[in-house]
Every structure is written in structure tokens, then in C-alpha cells.
Structure 1
Amino acid sequence: MKLQLFGPLFGCSLLVSISAFYSSSDDVIELNPSNFNREVIQSDSLWLVEFYAPWCGHCQSLTQDWKKAATALKGIVKVGAVDADQHKSLGGQYGVRGFPTIKVFGANKNKPEDYQGGRSSQAIVDGAMNALRALVKERLSGKSGGSGYSRQSDGGGSKNDVVELTDGNFKTMVLESDDVWLVEFFAPWCGHCKNLEPEWAAAASSVKEQTKGKVRLGAVDATVHQEVAGRYGIKGFPTIKVFRKGEEPEDYQGGRTRGDIIERAMDLFSDNAPAPELVEIINEDAVKKTCEDSQLCIIAVLPHILDTGAAGRNGYLDVMMKMADKYKKKMWGWLWTEAGAQMELEAALGIGGFGYPAMAAINTRKMKFALLRGSFSDTGIHEFLRELSVGRGSTATLGGGVMPKVHTVEAWDGKDGQLPEEEDYDLSDVELDDISEKIEL
């Protein structure tokens, strides 16, 4: 019985004595979930961090050398220690599976490196100095650390197009923005987050271009910026949320490939974007500004105002606006002109033979165009544009392979047309007898 009692008592007293590996008088800084981000992640210093367990014999053997190394490196390199047996979440965050594990937190604090050197105080100091020299060399070359979204991606996009969001900038960048945001909350140690990273970066670049920056993709390191992560109840990684101004954020429910992300982003853009502007062709700039950034430019040639009046013309414009809204996700340009106002354009498109109203879709990058063969109506235009959007339909090369000359004309004033005034002739000086004689002759 005494032996049985002695065992547990001895074990308990041993745990008490070895659990306090480091004290405030040591140069080793005790780290825990409460101070780790502040002390290590947000620090500009190089850190060596030991993850230990009080019951681990190798950890006990390392203690004195770890203290000596910390004293030797004081003011040069920070040396810390985490009781990973007590703070399992912190150990798990950095993939700690054995004890002691030593990590080097250098340029990129979110992706520490494993220390591979010896366990004597001299070896630890040498390893720290080598890491310090590498850090200084990296800074001297202009390279920077930061999260995984700070450099170029191997996934076909630029990580610079993924906006790094923090506790400090989240409100102004996201909540007060008129743009739509897709925000990924990630953890650097998360495998699924690493798999998502190239897809997220590629999608960010594509979405930025297609929506002209109206839909943005951002990323929050939830292990660092715990205030904003906590505000939105982030408990797993990666978590993606959709933010629209004045609305509660919603969970992203789509797939995790770049195609899935882009598709959802374009749906969000379409839901929030106004219909594209319908521009009258009054000069060359109107065509250039509308078409240069668009895959297709839809151009209508409407009957002369004397043939339709204002009401008739507005009817045609209403049909165009309805179709522009229906296809606004495509980011096409929409233009119109009056018959006879831009004769070179009509000739290049071969419009004259089909009567008015007429419509053509031009790809200004390829200098190809297609003509509406059906009716100028909701149904006819929809069928025409649907065929083009899926890569079907008959196309031809624009005359000469260049955009035709566009003339500067007066913009329509929205009113009915007026016939030109007839000139009045003064016949008071004309001899009627002379006229009658000429007629007789």
C-alpha cells in the first residue's frame, strides 16, 4: 500500500516540479494562446520557439541549453517556449506532433520553418545566427514576408489581387465599401487553405478584370486577426463569407475551384450591377470608350427620326435596354446610331441591305462581326445574342480589318424630328407675261 501511495504522490510532485521549466528570471519567454500573436506573429524580430511537454524527458534535458542560448541571444534573437501539452491548440496550429519541436519564426511568421540543428546551446545559437543572416539578406534584397497572399501565385493569377485584410483595415475596406467582397478566413497551417490558395488567387485576378474591381476577393489570417474572425464566428478553415454593404454577411456555398469562385462572383456582380449604359454614337470617342474593354459591342442602327418619331425611337431603345440588362453579366458595350448618320460604319457592316432597325455585334479585338437576321424584338435579339454567347452564329471580318471612320454628329435631343423649313420665294419682280411666253415656246 505504501508503494502504491508513493507512486502517485511521487508522480504528482514530479509534475509540479518539472511543469515550471522556465521562470520570469530566465531569458526564455513563456508563450501561450493569449500572448503568442502579440509577441511572435506581430513582431519584427526573429524568434526561436520550443514546443514542449512537461513529462517529456528530452524536453527536460534541453531546458538548461535552451536557457543558455536565450541568454546568449538576448537583444538579438527572441527565444520562447510553449507548453504544448497544456496549450494543445497552439501546438496543433503549427503541426507539432512530437516533443521537443523547435520552430524558427522568420520573415514569414505565418509559415515558420522547422529547426534542424543540434540541441546544445552552441548549436542553437549557431542556428539562430544563420537564420538571422538569411533574414537580413532577404530584407536587403527587397523581399518581404507576410502571409501567403503577398507574392505571385503559381495558379495563374497574382496574389497581389487578393487583398490582405486585417483587424485594422476590415471596416474601411469591406464594410464601408460599395463593392461586393468574397472574404476567405484562413489559417497558415491549414492544408485545405493551402490547396485553396492558388485557386483563390487565380479567381481574384479574373474577377477583378471582369468586374472592373466591383467584386473583390480578400483574405484574413484568422490566427493573427482574431478580432474580426471572432466577430463573424469563424471556427473552421477555410471559411468564406460574402459581404455586401448594409447587409449581413452570408456564407459562401459554392465550390472551391477557380471556376466555381469566378462563377459565384459574376453572379454577385450581376445581381448588384446596374444595366450597362446605352450610348449614342456621336463621335469616335463614344465608340472607343464603350468597346475597348468589352468582348463584344452591340450596335443598333435605328430608323431616321422622321420615320418613327420620338415614341417609336424610344420603343426601340427600350428593347435594347431590356436586353442590355438581361446580358449585363457579359460586360458588353451597347451603342446606337441613326440611319444615315454613320454611313462608313453601315457599309462596313453591310447593314443597308436589311433595312432598319438593324443590329450587329462586333468583336473589336478580332475585328469580326455578326448581323441580327431575325426581328428587332426581345425574342429576336435574345436568340441572336444567345447564339453568340455560346460561340455559335455566322461571323464575318469587318471591312479592311479596322474600325471604319466615325463622324462627329449632334446628339439626339429626345424630340420628334422636324422637316427642314421650305424657303419663301418673292415673286413680285417676276413678269408673268415673260413666263407665259417661255412656256408657249
Structure 2
Amino acid sequence: MHRLAVFFSLLLGGASALYSSSSEVVDLTPANFQRDVVNSDEVWVVEFYAPWCGHCQRLVPEYQKAAQALKGVVKVGGVNADDHKSLAQQFGINGFPTIKIFGLDKKKPQDYNGQRTAKAIVDFALNVAKEKVNAQLSGKKSGGGGGGSGSGSSGSGSSDVIELTDSNFEKLVLKSDDMWLVEFFAPWCGHCKNLAPQWEIAASDLKGKVKLGALDATVHSVMASRYGVQGYPTIKFFHKGDVEDYDGGRTASDIVAWATDKAAVNIPPPEVKQLISNAVLDETCKEHPICVVAILPHILDCQSKCRNNYIQMLTRLGDKYKQKMWGWGWAEAMAQSDLEQALDIGGFGYPALAALNAKKMQFALLKGSFSEDGINEFLRDISYGRGRTAPVRGAQLPKLVEMEAWDGKDGALPEEEDIDLSDVELDDFDTKTEL
């Protein structure tokens, strides 16, 4: 019945569109595509179809259902590739129906290769929208511009992807102490184009942890040949002379998870820093998702051996949880009283410990034993999102007292000053008391 309806609609209206003007599927043409899709801030799902295509006709009810479900969240459009061949050619359309998602980078739309059901299309579109929101939350701007015939990741402009060449590869990658994920791509490769926006998002999310680069293997063939690149895209991990094939997924979250695991294996244990200034506090807490803050007993109550045992224990725990990329710091009891008050430390004695989320200004306080097992259990709960939290007093990081770092020595009581009374003349006085 549906096929018959489509047939008559084509007879009456010509091979102009599969979707009526009352449909939530927007009719896209060369006249409105640049303005409405490419230059907009909205995420678009776009189907390139041919009215005579049986698969396109069968997709109509599911596609309209997806458009209705995504109304107000993601735009849904259709391009009659028969009528608008130039637009189809611009995006390399070779078969029908072809669905592309225009998300964060409109120059590099993603191909949709999932099931042709409303639910599958909606789920994919929402994932792209979520990735766009997360990228913008981290400061990345949406990219507008021309069509989808560009090459893989270029590293140009404000991109966090670094453009690699035969001439800079050795200096930037091979002689660097940094960890690198390098994509070897070809500009004409469809899979490379699909990977490009995910690679960009991953590069931004991994900034400061793992560097992401891209090398056009069709131009810079020396490095591609050296590392046996035969297909595109090929991704390899480089770190201090070691080279490893990337075997993860092709979404931004897959890339970030794989690289984070690799980084955790290769990075040293985090330094447990003494909190002696606001600069150190900011570095420890603001630059990490969570910072673990320990308040250790005064040096007179716990001498150098005792204090070092605590710091070594915290370092071991930092090594265990280094994959979390947490910050670790300590302060001497009562040396940073504003910090203790902000984290509600003091009522339970010393040593004490809290886990602080500086972005949310929430903290959790260790109520159990200040031991390796006790802290490990506390941190394990934190890593799983369990445990009770409270707001930081003042809703901001406190001001620290600037001080010198501990010199590593035992503490000593201040010496009492000897008073020399030899030069003091005491007046004679009558010891008799008058009654």
C-alpha cells in the first residue's frame, strides 16, 4: 500500500521529493543547504535519496518517525539527489539512501551505517549531539564551511590534532617524551573522513595526556612506508621508541578510553605535593578531576620517618589510582587552617584525608582508618561514585598561607633563650614588712 502511495505521489508531483511539505523532514536543496545546515549551530541528520530507489521508499516511514522524535533536538532533512546532483557529488554520494550526520564539524559529516529504523537513527543522532555538547563544554567551537570532500584530520586552525609530515615526524614524535597516537590517512578515504570528527574530539579530550597527530600518507610516504602502512586509516601508538598498533574502536570515547589506559601504564606515580601556596593547590586540584588532600600531623607529633611513611603510602595509592589522573597533596596540621575548615577537617584528629572535586566544589571526607587499606576502600568508593559528599565551605578553594616547603628534617622545639643576669643591678630592698 505504501509503495502504491509513493508511486502515485511521484506521478502527480514528479520525481521531486519523497517527503511532503507538512513532514518534519526538511527539503534541502543547493539554495538552502549552506545556510540551514552547514552554517547553523544545529546538529542535522541528512538523507540523500533518489525517488525511484526502493530502499529509500521503504525508509520513508521510519525516517519520518525519527524526524518527529527528534523535533526540537536535532534537525532532520532530505536531499533529492536526482534533482540536486551537484549537492550529492559535493558529499561523495554513490548509493541510495545515504545518511550523513552534520555535528560539531560541518566540514566532516559522519556517515550513518546503522540499522534503518527510527530508534537506531535517533540513538545515533543523540550520540553525535552529546559529543558536540561535550566538545563545546571543553571550549571547542563548531566548525562550519564547505562540503564533505576534505581530507582526514589536518591539524589546522584551532584543532588540537597536530599535522605531521616526513620532515617534522622524527622531531615531534620519535624524539619526544610525549605519548602519541598517529593517524596515517588518505584524503580520498571515506573511513578517514568518518574518523576525522571523532579524532578531533578525542584530541581535545586527551589534551595534556596523549598527543594526537595526523599524517597524509599519500603525500608523506617516507614515514608511512617506514611503519608499513598499507591501508587507511592506520593508527599507531608511539612512546619513547616503542611503536604499537591501535586496536580500539573508532568513536571519540573509544579512542579516549584506549589512550587513557595506555597513558596510565606508562606514566609514573603522581607526585604527592606539599600544599604551600595557592599555585600548588590550583595545580593539584583544578587541573585534575579529583584531588586527594591529606592533612598530616605536625612534625613535632610525627617526625620525619613517620611523615615520610605517610607520604610513601599516599604515593603507592597514587600509583594504584594513576589511571584516574587525580591530583595528590598534603599539608601539615594547622598550617593551612582555611583549607581544613573548607573540607571540614579537624574534628576527627590527624592524620585526615578528603577527596575534592574542584569543578563541582564537593568533597568527601575519610571517616574510616587512615591506613593503606582504609584509604584504598574510601578511594574505591569514590571512583565508583559512591560515598557521601558535602559542599566546600565558601564554594571556592580557600586562600593558602604562603610558606617554605618542608626540609625533610625532624622537628625540634625552639630553644629557650638563656637570660644572663650578671649585669643586672638589683637595688637593695628592705625585706621587713611593716605592720
Q: Which secondary structure does the structure 1 equivalent of 2:203 belong to?
A: helix
Are 2:155 and 2:162, in contact at CA under 8 Å, matched by a contact in 1? Answer: no
1:416 is matched by which residue type in structure 2? Answer: D
Q: Aligned to 2:151, which of 147, 152, 169? A: 147
Query: How far off its partner does 1:427 sit?
Result: 6.6
Mapped partners of 2:410, 2:430: distance in 1: 40
8 Å CA contact retained: 1:300, 1:335? yes
Letter in 1 for 2:193: K
* Secondary structure of the structure 1 residue equivalent to 2:240: coil
Structure 1 residue 298 displacement after superposition: 1.4
What SS class does the counterpart of residue 161 from structure 1 fall into?
coil
Match of 1:215 in 2: 210
Tell me which residue corresponds to 1:32: none
> Out of 224, 227, 236, which is 1:229 matched to?
224
Counterpart Cα distance in 1 of 2:175 and 2:155 = 26
Of 186-195 and 363-372, deviating more is 186-195
Cα distance, 1:161–1:420 mapped onto 2, change above 3 Å = same
User: How does the TM-score come out when normalised to structure 2?
Assistant: 0.60
Alpha-carbon contact 1:159-1:201 (below 8 Å) kept: no
Q: Equivalents in 2 of 1:378, 1:327: separation in Å?
A: 13
Aligned ranges for residues 233-312 of structure 1 at < 5 Å? 233-247=228-242, 249-312=243-306
1:277-313: CA deviation from partner (whole Å, max 9, x where unpaired): 2221222322123222122221111011111111101
Residue identity matched to 2:190: G
Matches within 5 A, 1:40-51: none
Residues 32-71 of structure 1: matches in 2 within 5 Å? none
- Structure 1 residues 420 and 395, CA, compared in 2 at 3 Å: closer, same or farther? same
- CA 1:348–1:161: 2 relative to 1, 3 Å: closer
For 1:165, the aligned partner's letter is L
C-alpha distance 276-435 of structure 1, shift in aligned 2 (>3 A): farther
Deviation at 1:151, TM superposition (A): 7.5
Q: C-alpha offsets along residues 391-411 of structure 1, whole Å, 9 cap, x if unaligned?
A: 221111111212233212332
Cα 1:423–1:169 change in 2 (3 A) is closer
- Measure how far apart 1:161 and its partner are: 1.7
Matched, 1:193 2:188: no
Q: Quick one: distance in 2 between partners of 1:96 and 1:392? A: 51
How many Å apart are 1:146 and its aligned residue?
7.0
Out of 260-269 and 191-200, give the one that drifted further: 191-200
The CA RMSD measured in Å over matched residues stands at 3.5
Q: Is the 8 A contact 2:353 2:365 kept in 1?
A: yes
In 2, Cα distance between the equivalents of 1:317 and 1:151?
42
8 Å contact from structure 1 (residues 149, 159) kept in 2: no
Alignment partner for residue 364 of structure 1, among 358, 369, 379?
A: 358
**Residue 423 (str. 1) matches residue 417 (str. 2):** yes
Question: Following the alignment from structure 1 to structure 2, what is the Cα–Cα distance between the partners of residues 345 and 181?
Answer: 38
Q: Normalized against structure 1, the TM-score is what?
A: 0.60
> Cα 1:194–1:415, aligned 2, differ >3 Å: closer, same or farther?
same
| 1:326-337 equivalent positions in 2, closer than 5 A | 326-337=320-331
Please report how far the alpha carbon of residue 331 of structure 1 lies from its aligned counterpart in structure 2 after TM superposition. 2.3
Matched, 1:385 2:347: no
What's the CA shift for 1:437? 8.6
Paired AA for residue 214 in structure 2: A
Query: Residue 387 of structure 1 contacts residue 393 of structure 1 at CA under 8 Å; is this kept in 2?
Result: yes
* SS class of match (2:417): coil
- What pairs up with 1:9-158 in 2 under 5 angstroms? 147-150=151-154
Q: Whose helix proportion is higher, 1 or 2?
A: 1
CA distance in 2, matches of 1:281, 1:233: 49
Change (3 A) 1:305 1:146: same
Summarize the alignment of residues 155-170 of structure 1 with structure 2, pairs less than 5 Å apart. 160-170=159-169
1:177 aligns with 2:176: yes
The aligned counterpart of 2:335 is 341
> 1:352 is paired with a residue of what secondary structure?
coil
1:304-331 deviation per Cα after TM superposition (whole angstroms, max 9, x unaligned):
1111111101100111111122222222
CA distance in 2: counterparts of 1:435 and 1:147, whole angstroms: 106
Aligned partner letter, 1:177: S
Deviation at 1:436, TM superposition (A): 9.7
Following the alignment from structure 1 to structure 2, what is the Cα–Cα distance between the partners of residues 435 and 314?
60
Q: CA deviation at 1:368?
A: 1.3
- Seen in structure 2, the aligned counterparts of structure 1 residues 224 and 309 have a Cα distance that, compared at 3 Å, is same
Deviation, 1:426, is 5.2
Contact 1:280 1:335 in 2 (8 A): yes
Q: Say whether the 8 Å CA contact 2:361–2:396 is kept in structure 1.
A: yes
3-state secondary structure, aligned to 1:301: strand
Residue type of the partner of 1:314? N
What residue is the counterpart of 1:405 in the other structure?
Answer: 399
Sequence identity (%): 56
Higher alpha-carbon Rg: 1
